[in-house]
Structure 1
Amino acid sequence: MCVQADQIHVLQVDTAPPLDETVDFPDTQRTNSLTVTTTDRADDALDHLERNAIDGIVVADSLPDMTGLAFVDAVRETDPDIPVLLLTESESVASDAVSRGVTDIFRKDTETGQSDLLANRIRLLVERHRSTETAVQARQRLTELAEQSDELLWVFSGDWTEIQFVNSQYESLYGRSVESLQANPAEFMTAIHPDDQDRVIQAMQRVSAGEAVDLEFRITRPDDERRWMRAEAQPIVEDGTVTRIVGASRDITERKRLEEFASEVSHDLRNPLDVARGQLELARAENDGDHLDSVERAHDRIGQLIDDLLTLARNGEAALDSEPVPLQTVVEQCWQTVETGDATLELQTSAVVRVDPARLRQLFENLIRNSVEHGSTSSRPRADDSVEHGPTPHTERQAETGEQRGTTSLSQSQGTAAADLTLTVGELDDGFYVADDGVGIPAEERENVFEGGYSLASGPGFGLRIVDDIADTHGWSIAVTESDAGGARFEITGVEFETA
């Protein structure tokens, strides 16, 4: 094929060639002209095809060295796709031509204007061939890309009766061949758990009616293994009609098992915790000593660990609901709800970021708790959030405007925890940071602080793992370094700022 899309190179094989060497198309948008190479012999034409890029062929039905159809047979041996236009006046030749690989037939006569009609005919054939070839190449590239995906990608007709595309993940997830699904598009329904089939059918009907659907259901593989799937389906609407349904499915079995485990553990832990809290209240009625405060703090810590466990189990699949959120507002709210002792907050940002506000609050609550608890221990830190502190009394907010842009200072009087600790939240070029002047995190341990269950000497925790998960869900990067004051500094980058 010719590289220049505005020009078509045609090989004309005829003893009485109807096309001139050059044919211009001044009124067309896609092709400016034909450049025509002419020969009257089939063997010369075949030799030319081997040595030159040709976009289309015009051939007579009778040549000195072979018939036109025999020439077409020879061409198709090396190029099955190039457009070939056969010139003939014979009905019998015309009837045999298409089965022999001829693209189109042009009935040759001597009427005026025939050459113009012929030139336009071959131009349209070549343009159509180019469009088809471009579409095929694009489909091949998309198929190659889809095969690299870990998800099951598929395209159904609008009524679910035809499977138009499916990648090979169908075989690994469903345990059935792609060919079997193509032969019977309803096959995937037989794999769906009987208790989920009605719900899936209703979801399919909603998509066919034009509604996007996100659905979880169970399947049973041929080996009787049961798996959980999550499918997202999107209707493609053309002229008011759903013509195709595109979607992606993935295996969420492990996430479901984790959620189930976390819920069971949470239930099993909360029951005795509630009993312990009830007994504590009874004990306070008889003797409200300081030692009972320590018991209450231990109860609160257990409750926090249970909440963190559930958060870790559920965060991975929860959908994001992003909106513009002022960093300063969220940090101030978190500062009022997290136990911060005598720590001081320095806000050095007025940035507004596009983020899921609930997730951002979780992130800051865990980072604040982590910094405060580091600052209140003299033990060797291992970058997590499991130090016990005093109870959370009434919080008093004191705010004043700092010298830097958007700078605010907040302090709380909450017992003896985190005495003299200062925590700073500030801006980066593409994100923000949370830094403290506490004891810091040893350099050799910074790579491990986001691992699940990584802990301080005082016990296990999940706070920084939650922070890492939230950052990853938003597509951010997070790194831990040393602050200017020698404490810990967490830098979150890749954040989308909201501009005025």
Structure 2
Amino acid sequence: MADSFRVLYVDDLEATEQAATRLREADDRLTVDGATSAHEGLERLDGDVDCIVSDYDLPETDGIDFLESVRERRPNLPFILFTDAGSEAVASEAISAGVTDYLRKDGGDNLPELVAHIVDAVETFRADEQEPGRELEAQQAKVRALHTVATRISTCDSSDAVYEAVVEAAEAILDFDIAIADAAVEDVLVPRAVSTELSVDEYFEETPIDAENNLGAEAYRTGKASVIDDLRDLDVVPADSEFRSALTVTIGDYGVFQSVDTDPGAFDEQDLEMAELLAEHARARLSQLEARQELQQRTEELQRKNERLDEFTRFVSHDLQSPLTVAQGRLELAQEDCDSEHLDDVAAAHQRMRNLIEDLLTLAREEKSATEYESVALAELVYRCWRTVETKEATLDVDVDATIQADHDRLRQLLENLLRNSVDHGGDDVTITVGELDDGFYLADDGEGIPEAERARVFESGYSTAADGTGFGLSIVKKITEAHGWDIDVTESEAGGARFEITGVEVDR
């Protein structure tokens, strides 16, 4: 059976049958059996299997869990993860679990490449079985140890602790005598941790990222790892002229890991693979720490903002409302004593102040409110809003039958403001139409419309073309659309009036 390769292909039934046929056609040395679940695949391990090819998405589990179960029973059996699903994190996890190879399906066009990987993996496996060495076991031990280190790195609470853990692992597990972890800080690489064999004085204080003769800087710029057998063959400037060989990998966008040695050819491809795995664990944790810091900063900023809004709300609702109420009471007494058109102007000014206060409080609430989605029948809500707006002689035409996902109360405020805007600016007998879009809805009128030069300003706080307008109505509308993740645009309606289009809305189909 030395010239045959017995493959267990684990995927859904259709994919398994297709792959089995195509693999046999690609290389007649392959004998392919299929399994449609990890459980079935484990049952087949007791038979003759030279290699397992598995998808990542499996019923009730995934390819990583399946791989770990296989490794418990057949530690060295070739296992190739062949999947559409994947990312750097999945690849890293698969390597940590002892995967032999990791390939993307790419629509099935790379099956010849898969065949080559199967043959290579099985031949290597058979050679190792015939001539067992301390080398394969040592490599596997390193992988397991690095997997343990990943757990430690995942608990580091600072970026410096991550870099230090990387260097310590390089010394203890990978047997790198001289290891350095640099962090990218603005436009330079700065050492964050160095091995015990190297003092900071013996290494660069910092390295410009745009340096042309530095391996670390070049690796960071290009994202490419490298193993250099002899630095004297390259036009680079090592930190110490005694350094002869170097291994360099990037830690994502966060920095660079390097190991150097005074002997030429000190590193090989296996060392590079292990260093990349270690760097990936570090990158993942640094990314988590960065996200946590950003979240904390946003939380603190939001807390400060809410405190300012609370203070503003208290000022508007109490310090402004109270004297206005007193003024309104005095006005009513004055109107009983005398009849003057000047008092009517005072009453109108009072009402305008009340409208301003109400809109300001609404804006403050919009800044703090969380959006809670539910299914909302759009037409029904439009009619309800129409009954609460002073419509004069205006006409409403509703041509929508959609149910959308929205915050009911905030959508009501949006619709009321748009309807009121059309009535206030479109004339007493304006006709307002509400209609559907593919991903939202629109509200249009046949009024005078909004000049194109002014359309970009209508959503600004305080902007209004009406003498008695507060200038906050459309600003509130803008805030509500942004809170939903929607877009709003103002154009000209078919009748020459204003047309507001709200898009990006999730419509229930």
What TM bracket, shorter-length normalisation? 0.3 to 0.5
User: Larger RCO: Structure 1 or Structure 2 (Cα < 8 Å, ≥ 6 residues apart)?
Assistant: 1
TM-score scaled by length of structure 1: 0.47
TM-score scaled by length of structure 2: 0.46
Which structure has more helix as a fraction of its residues? Answer: 2
